[in-house]
Structure 1
């Protein structure tokens, strides 16, 4: 079955998992990340082994809040070095105002990046904050999708509320042409996210930063993703391993083991993301 991994971080110095504000993530994901550790060569070979069609790697800019940045140039360079399998998305700092919009235009038009990545909790801004809306409007102008962190975050330097899925409804009503991937998939407000996605066909749910097997565990809070993702939302579900939060092969195996129709698994693993990335 074809694969697009929509959320992956290569093990290179440009990514900064040990940033101070993310230390609680390291506690939460300690066991899983220990199983995922490996070299860049291991990382590249994993996608060779799976014959992945595309792997989305994302920049981010949280300089104003936490002094960290994975630059657009570094992401574009990684993709150029390792071939067309790797698709880069831009990251800009919404606190930089119009300068951020200009940086996004440059990243798309000159560096060839294909989307925008915004981690609301790292910007300390809610999904519907006016500073975020400015960038969403730029995405519509540039005809690119945006990835918006949605649901819980584990940084105790920021607030959970910034990622509340219900806030997406206001955004989608104001900008009906905006294409959004909400990932991770909204926990503990999964049904809020399901409701917003059911209302707005341009909103995709990114199943990432969670072990897929937990979607089938009673009482986990993720069960709605299976119920609706196997039916009315089957065309709006996108899969990402979130490597190095978990091993790439294991995440794919667990997704394939879920009680989903085979035709739906194909959509989650490949064709929905292919449509978003305009590969098909």
Structure 2
């Protein structure tokens, strides 16, 4: 299967369990997330199961875990394991990595090694869960390396279901996921491709402003059923941002089956629909001219 044969590219899926059964977050935070997202697929599919799911649907998927060990104290799933598992399913899976910026220079060395030796195609940040503001200089050496390697950085934005309902929100601060904090990153690293994940409630207008103003800032539509999208998001996706909006589900908490069924009901122009579902992601991920990567 090559990119032309794919029906869609999902830029936002999670690896939540390792080969030996280690989960990506503490049981308390996973339970809170499960309660927050009342619909979805199997809670903790393996990477192999994720590959089979997407292969059956003739879709590709970006897969990542989240390294939040500094804030949560919970050991991460190894990025190398995620990359190796994705490599075994190169027809449908695209590996991203996650490195806590608090890892400092060791994290920078890891990022370079993951791209060079393990085929990682991008990096996921979750500022609220990792306990840092995106414009904090602690993360700048990591951004510099990612920009230099020419791969995207995907930032969680807006509210998170992780920690919702837990005492004190599990120590997770929502303000770190305001997309305006990523605006500084886009200024200071003008050649870094950035993806703002999710409709950025309660900062949707801020996300639209940043994506409209900064040439390499994009928005993925994961984590929400399209029937709940704010009207301004739909309007911008149909017009000014039609080349910068990407399909993402947030699998397994929200399945692409449900997302796509609800997306079909939106008033999206036919030419824009194909851009959102596949074409924009193929370009952003460097797959448009790299068909042997998904082959």
TM-score (norm 2): 0.86
**Among residues 80, 83, 96, which one is paired with 1:89 in the alignment?**
96
Count, aligned residues:
271
Report the 3-state secondary structure (helix = DSSP H, G, I; strand = E; otherwise coil) of the residue aligned with 2:81.
Answer: helix
Per the alignment, do residues 11 and 96 of structure 1 end up closer, same or farther by CA in structure 2, a change over 3 Å counting? closer
Offset at residue 24 of structure 1 (A): 2.6
Structure 2 counterpart of 1:174? 188
Offset at residue 109 of structure 1 (A): 0.5
User: Structure 1, residues 144-188: CA drift from partner, whole Å, max 9, x if none?
Assistant: 110111111232121110001111221111111110001023111
Structure 2 counterpart of 1:201? 215
1:214 aligns with 2:228: yes
5+ residue gaps in structure 1? Answer: 216-221
Report the 3-state secondary structure (helix = DSSP H, G, I; strand = E; otherwise coil) of the residue aligned with 1:153.
Answer: coil
Structure 1 counterpart of 2:292? none
Contact 1:151 1:187 in 2 (8 A): yes
Offset at residue 59 of structure 1 (A): 3.1
Q: How does 1:73-152 map to 2 (within 5 A)?
A: 73-152=80-159
Offset at residue 133 of structure 1 (A): 2.2
Per the alignment, do residues 247 and 59 of structure 1 end up closer, same or farther by CA in structure 2, a change over 3 Å counting? closer
Report the 3-state secondary structure (helix = DSSP H, G, I; strand = E; otherwise coil) of the residue aligned with 2:243.
Answer: helix
CA distance in 2, matches of 1:107, 1:42: 23
Report the 3-state secondary structure (helix = DSSP H, G, I; strand = E; otherwise coil) of the residue aligned with 2:12.
Answer: coil
Tell which deviates more after alignment, 12-21 or 61-70.
12-21
Report the 3-state secondary structure (helix = DSSP H, G, I; strand = E; otherwise coil) of the residue aligned with 1:97.
Answer: helix
Larger RCO (CA within 8 A; separation ≥ 6) = 2
1:65 aligns with 2:79: no
CA distance in 2, matches of 1:10, 1:129: 27
Contact 1:124 1:159 in 2 (8 A): yes
**Among residues 198, 202, 226, which one is paired with 1:184 in the alignment?**
198
Per the alignment, do residues 108 and 15 of structure 1 end up closer, same or farther by CA in structure 2, a change over 3 Å counting? farther
Tell which deviates more after alignment, 133-142 or 107-116.
133-142
5+ residue gaps in structure 2? Answer: 1-5, 164-168, 289-295
Per the alignment, do residues 86 and 6 of structure 1 end up closer, same or farther by CA in structure 2, a change over 3 Å counting? same
User: Structure 1, residues 184-205: CA drift from partner, whole Å, max 9, x if none?
Assistant: 2311110010001110120010
User: Structure 1, residues 215-248: CA drift from partner, whole Å, max 9, x if none?
Assistant: 2xxxxxx221101110001100011111111222
Offset at residue 10 of structure 1 (A): 4.8
After superposition, the CA RMSD in angstroms is: 2.0
Contact 2:96 2:120 in 1 (8 A): yes
Structure 1 counterpart of 2:250? 242
User: Structure 1, residues 34-53: CA drift from partner, whole Å, max 9, x if none?
Assistant: x555865764443233211x
Contact 1:120 1:127 in 2 (8 A): yes
Report the 3-state secondary structure (helix = DSSP H, G, I; strand = E; otherwise coil) of the residue aligned with 2:279.
Answer: helix
Tell which deviates more after alignment, 42-51 or 70-79.
42-51
CA distance in 1, matches of 2:264, 2:251: 17
CA distance in 1, matches of 2:265, 2:42: 20
TM-score (norm 1): 0.90
CA distance in 2, matches of 1:128, 1:23: 30
Structure 2 counterpart of 1:2? 7
